[in-house]
Amino acid sequence: MAATPGGNSPQSIAAETLRSFLAGSTTASDAAKRFNSVVAQVKDPEDGLYEIFTRVNEAAQERLDVQEKLIELIKAVKSLPDLTVGGEPVNIRGQYVVWRDLPILGEDLRSRWECK
């Protein structure tokens, strides 16, 4: 993913959104909407999904005190409208993906368990 000027790269937006949510400065709904903007900013939506869910999974592994908040965030992500970029449905690996299916989340979780 290419960084954009001013610290508004998808990576920094995803990181700051999660930090802000876990600190209680952002609602789950607002954080989910910002995650949607991360996917819309990248050339390959799959990269944006990995950026988001890798950070969520890392937080889940590293901070047991935020488990309930992360569940709240995942529920908010699942309730987002269908995943689109530029008004078009997102296609990853030949399949259209929707937020309610939590694309990439399960794949990232499985790879973390397999590495342990």
**E strand spans, the chain:** 84-85, 88-92, 95-97
What does the pLDDT read at residue 4? 42
Q: pLDDT tens across 9-64, in order?
A: 888 999 999 999 999 999 999 999 999 988 888 888 888 898 898 899 999 989 99
Q: What is the residue range of 86's domain? A: 8-115
**pTM above threshold 0.85:** no
Does 2 reside within a domain? no
Does 3 reside within a domain? no
> Who wins on pLDDT, 76 or 42?
76
Contact 89, 70 (CB under 8 A): no
- Number of domains comprising the chain: 1
Does 54 reside within a domain? yes
Alpha-carbon dihedral 32, 89, 82, 87, rounded to 10 degrees: 70
CA–CA distance, 9 with 18 (Å, rounded to integer): 14
Does 101 reside within a domain? yes
Chain centroid to Cα 72, Å, comes to 13
Does 1 reside within a domain? no
- Name 88's bridge partners: 85
Mean pLDDT of all residues belonging to the chain: 86
Does 31 reside within a domain? yes
